[in-house]
Structure 1
Amino acid sequence: MEKIPIFFKCPGCSGTVMVMDSGMCKAPSTGALSVSCSGNEMDLLSEQTADFATEKHVPIVEKVEGGIKVTVGSTAHPMTDEHYIMWIGVQAGDDLMIHYLKPGDAPEAIFPCPDTNVKAYECCNIHDLWVNR
């Protein structure tokens, strides 16, 4: 059975957390997901799939020699200190791979996947979580 990761972001430090097993983060009293950072309740990130304004956030997957390349947006996403992609990830069945980025890097990553039929993720420091499907 394919696991679906869940992502949270701290409103204080903007750090992100990936929860692999959502059953581990349920509050005993309510049964709701609950994750905190330095005393701050973290925000659950919704998977966004359409960026109609400028197409800068939806991950694009293409086959390349040795695997697949994930590029963030059909228009290159900015990679400045103020606005950048923090990480790109792909999920292929039960496998999940993440590549971390920093300002100045190209908004892309190459993963050793044999097939383009993957769920691609990216997390923008301002606009949060985006997926390709």
Structure 2
Amino acid sequence: MGKKIEIYKCDKCGNTTLLLDSGKGQMVCCDEPMKLLSEQSADFKNEKHVPIVEKTDDGIKVTVGSTLHPMLPEHHIVMIGVIDGDDLMVHWLSPGDEPVAHFPCQNEDVKAIEYCNIHNLWTNKQ
């Protein structure tokens, strides 16, 4: 992929943004610089955050955690994404949804990412 995915979060209000194209400015919210989130891949809490990619008949399935992640209003997965070369596919989730997404991607060797509203950004690859 030509560009790195960058996600920023405001420590004051919790606003989170995906940067599509970087310039010379700084990401700012609530009059303070936003924090660039780093991708985490080692989960010490029962594997509830690392995305798991499985091949299916019509593409791939991404499940968040070998133990399914909670999907409560106060703690849930906001999105699951797949980066396949220069393509980014995103599936948005809401509390109460199952933390699973299906993508019409034939390549199962993709980088999967997910964003938890409490524990931030996770990936299956660095």
TM-score (norm 1): 0.88
SS of structure 2 residue aligned to 1:60: strand
Indicate yes or no: 2:31 matched with 1:14.
Answer: no
Supply the AA of the counterpart residue of 2:114: E
The answer to which of 34-43 and 121-130 deviates more is: 34-43
Indicate yes or no: 2:115 matched with 1:117.
Answer: no
CA distance in 1, matches of 2:4, 2:52: 20
CA distance in 2, matches of 1:20, 1:5: 8
Number of the residue aligned with 1:51? 43
- 1:15: how far off? 2.5
Number of the residue aligned with 2:124? 132
Number of the residue aligned with 2:83? 91
- Structural mapping, 1:94-109, within 5 Å: 94-109=86-101
CA contact (8 A) 1:5 1:21 kept: no
Supply the AA of the counterpart residue of 1:9: K
Supply the AA of the counterpart residue of 1:41: P
CA contact (8 A) 2:61 2:103 kept: yes
- 1:38: how far off? 4.0
Supply the AA of the counterpart residue of 2:95: P
Identity of aligned residues (%): 58
- 1:73: how far off? 0.5
Structure 1, unaligned runs of 5 or more: 28-33
SS of structure 2 residue aligned to 1:123: strand
SS of structure 1 residue aligned to 2:96: coil
- Structural mapping, 1:75-90, within 5 Å: 75-90=67-82
Supply the AA of the counterpart residue of 2:2: E
- 1:21: how far off? 2.5
Structure 2, unaligned runs of 5 or more: none
RMSD of aligned alpha carbons: 1.3
CA distance in 2, matches of 1:61, 1:53: 19
Supply the AA of the counterpart residue of 2:58: G
SS of structure 2 residue aligned to 1:46: coil
Number of the residue aligned with 2:65? 73
